[in-house]
Amino acid sequence: MLYDVLEHSTDWDTFAGNAAFFRVRMNEGEFVYAIYAAVVHSHLTEHVVLPPLYEVTPHLFTNSEAIQAAYKAKMTQTAVTIKSQFTGSKSNPEQRVAYFGEDIGMNTHHVTWHLEFPFWWDDAHEDHHIDRKGESFFWVHHQLTVRFDAERLSKYLDPVDELHWDNVIYEGFAPHTMYKYGGYFPSRPDNVNFEDVDGVARVRDMLILESRIRDAIAHGYFTGRDGSVISIRDAHGIDILGDVIESSTYSPNPEYYGSLHNTAHVMLGRQGDPHGKFALPPGVLEHFETATRDPAFFRLHKYMDNIFREHKDSLTPYTKEDLEFSGVSVEGITFSNRLETHFEEFEYSLVNAVDDTTEVKDVPISATVDRLTHNDFTHKIDVANNNDHEVLATVRIFAWPKYDNNHVEFSFNEGRWNAIEMDKFWVKLGGGSNHITRSSKLSALTVPDVPSSQTLIDKANEALTSGSELHLEEYHSSLGLPNRFLLPKGKTEGMDFHVVVFVSDGATDAAVSGLHESTTFNHYGCYDGNYPDKKPHGYPLDRRVDDERIITGVSNFKAVDVKVYHTEEH
């Protein structure tokens, strides 16, 4: 309701006035969600940059031990910097990859995507339709899943197994996280069986919903609430399937197919207290900010991902004619320097973690946390255009781990499903040889860190004092992975990755007119209301490959092997 009030404010004074009025009258969590969603979607706030969520609601991003130390610092009026640790201990193998799921940039990425593509979005109350929303739901979570698997391989762990309603939940989880008001996030012990959750769903209900969705995939169509047959045997089918699985208001028949994903998050999040016996608050899986902290999040999404794959594998594979770009060939792929990852220490404010009063002054309180990053690098791609005219091309770059945890090489078909999207951009190819250089910092899939609250305040005050413009253009959209997460973690001795580049016809790919080299994809976002690339997310690796020679044999496709190294000290 508050989102609707803000989104439908007709001018800036009304928007800002409503925000100020409700800020002191509503639950903090509700207010923060509504204001961030409204700023993302309102035309009045296109260029507004809000502070990073991990500084606004630090309880949801920071271990409770650090929060308790922050309260002590406030009470004793002592400025302090607190080291925030990852959850678990070395006795828990999952702790080896906690740096990924608990990364504050990863958590922000997840919540930001759900703010941009909310499941409750209703076209009847808004001024536009969100293009390819269901497909984007599939793709962003598929990418999180395959990236998590790559991180596991770098730590000598097997790819994550799917979770299922009939099976034991092997990994427990102790979040070490607390609500600002409402106690600690509940834990889940090892080796528990799924139980019915009072007021949410029975385990049997989840099996029935899954069966109905798999049945629709096998038949190649969904049944609409009016009895209509909605085919999914084409490139658009993944969009409908995503709407159904999430489910969103775009689902053609939520009464029959339910809300598999959203209900599953609540079911899994409540397994610590399924019958409400202990009146525990919601679990980490029930908040977008905290969901990826629990390793079971990735098991749950591997389960969803396998359902999506069933559909994708039912589609006819691409033919050589589908893939060719006449007259264009990729001649070579190199990198400007050694690909290297390392950990860096990052500091952020915890001032909002503690209670506030005009009688007691704020003191500087911050947390530091280790986070994965990589050295900048540049893709160097040589492309020949043998046509007698300039052509617009779409360059698509992917990478996947070459070997599994037993050093067995992935087949092309397995590898392409595990492919990590690295970049996608347009370029004009002149006749003859073209040397394309593309910095990792320009990737369409990543965004920089939003400046801290204090930095935004200082920049705004400086602009007001000097009467100059406030330039925050690069932060207008925070939709994307952290730019330091583009490269998966390597190994000390080097981890082998298979890198592929596919150059397709940009003119044929374009879903909107007037595209040029500076037009960006904005990480599954829209361009004038439409996603600019009409090809499916993951193209040309999104469909099964029965014979890899069909795709590797076209001249506009090229693959190389490369090692990614990791250094412990930097």
Q: What is the residue whose two structure tokens read 């809000």?
A: 50
Residue 425: CB partners within 8 Å, gap ≥ 6? 394, 395, 438, 442, 444, 517, 520, 521
Q: What is the dihedral of CA 224, 227, 233, 236, to 10 degrees?
A: -30
Q: Which pLDDT does position 527 carry in this prediction?
A: 45
Residue 100: CB partners within 8 Å, gap ≥ 6? 106, 147, 148, 151, 292, 372
Strands 378-385 and 432-439: antiparallel
Residues 425 and 493 reside in one and the same domain = yes
Tell me whether residue 247 is in a domain: yes
Q: Which pLDDT does position 525 carry in this prediction?
A: 54
Tell me whether residue 360 is in a domain: no
Residues 306 and 334 reside in one and the same domain = no
Residues 309 and 385 reside in one and the same domain = no
Q: For residue 537, what is the enclosing H or E element?
A: none
User: How does pLDDT run across 52-70, given as a tens digit for each residue?
Assistant: 999 999 999 999 999 999 9
- Last residue of a domain, which of 298, 314, 330? 314
Residues 416 and 554 reside in one and the same domain = yes
Residues 6 and 37 reside in one and the same domain = yes
Distance CA 205, CA 535 (A): 35
Residues 301 and 334 reside in one and the same domain = no
Q: For residue 32, what is the enclosing H or E element?
A: helix 28-41
Residues 220 and 328 reside in one and the same domain = no
Residue 340 · residue 375 · CB < 8 Å: yes
Q: What is the pTM of this model?
A: 0.96
DSSP strand E in 45-181: where? Answer: 80-83, 168-169
User: How does pLDDT run across 486-537, given as a tens digit for each residue?
Assistant: 999 999 999 999 999 999 999 999 887 766 665 555 555 554 457 889 999 9
Low-confidence ranges of the chain (pLDDT < 50): 527-528
Q: Which pLDDT does position 357 carry in this prediction?
A: 86
Q: Is the peptide bond before 518 cis (omega within 30 degrees of 0)?
A: no
Tell me whether residue 65 is in a domain: no
SS3 115: helix
Q: What is the residue whose two structure tokens read 């039912």?
A: 314
Tell me whether residue 352 is in a domain: no
Question: Token pair for residue 331?
Answer: 């001649």
Distance CA 328, CA 557 (A): 10
How many residues make up the chain in this entry? 570
The tally of domains found in the chain comes to 3
Residues 175 and 257 reside in one and the same domain = yes
Strands 391-401 and 420-429: antiparallel
Q: What CATH number does the domain containing 502 carry?
A: 2.60.40.1520
Q: Which pLDDT does position 338 carry in this prediction?
A: 97
Of the CA atoms within 13 Å of residue 90, those in its CB half-sphere come to 0
Residues 552 and 423 reside in one and the same domain = yes
SS3 446: strand
Residues 97 and 27 reside in one and the same domain = no
The dihedral built from the CA positions of residue 56, 61, 62 and 67, taken in this order, carries a sign that is positive
Q: Which pLDDT does position 358 carry in this prediction?
A: 86
- The CA-based angle 43-47-51, given to 5 degrees, is 115
- Last residue of a domain, which of 297, 314, 331? 314
Tell me whether residue 242 is in a domain: yes
Q: For residue 159, what is the enclosing H or E element?
A: none
Residue 56 · residue 111 · CB < 8 Å: no
Tell me whether residue 62 is in a domain: no
Residues 199 and 237 reside in one and the same domain = yes
The whole domain housing 119 covers: 89-314
Q: Which residues of 489-498 are buried (b: 16+ CB within 10 A; e: fewer)?
A: bbbeeebebb
Q: Is the peptide bond before 540 cis (omega within 30 degrees of 0)?
A: yes
Distance CA 326, CA 345 (A): 48
- The CA-based angle 154-376-434, given to 5 degrees, is 110
Residue 302: CB partners within 8 Å, gap ≥ 6? 145, 160, 161, 162, 163
Tell me whether residue 407 is in a domain: yes
Q: Which residues of 395-432 are buried (b: 16+ CB within 10 A; e: fewer)?
A: bbbbbbbbeeeeeeebebbebbbbbbbbbbbbbebeee
Q: What is the residue whose two structure tokens read 């031990």?
A: 65
Residues 436 and 535 reside in one and the same domain = yes
At residue 255, φ and ψ (nearest 5 deg) are: -65, -30
Partnered with residue 420 across adjacent β-strands are 399
Tell me whether residue 71 is in a domain: no
- The CA-based angle 78-81-86, given to 5 degrees, is 135
Residue 230: CB partners within 8 Å, gap ≥ 6? 221, 222, 223, 224, 240, 252
- The CA-based angle 471-374-156, given to 5 degrees, is 145
Q: What CATH number does the domain containing 278 carry?
A: 1.10.1280.10
At residue 156, φ and ψ (nearest 5 deg) are: 60, 35
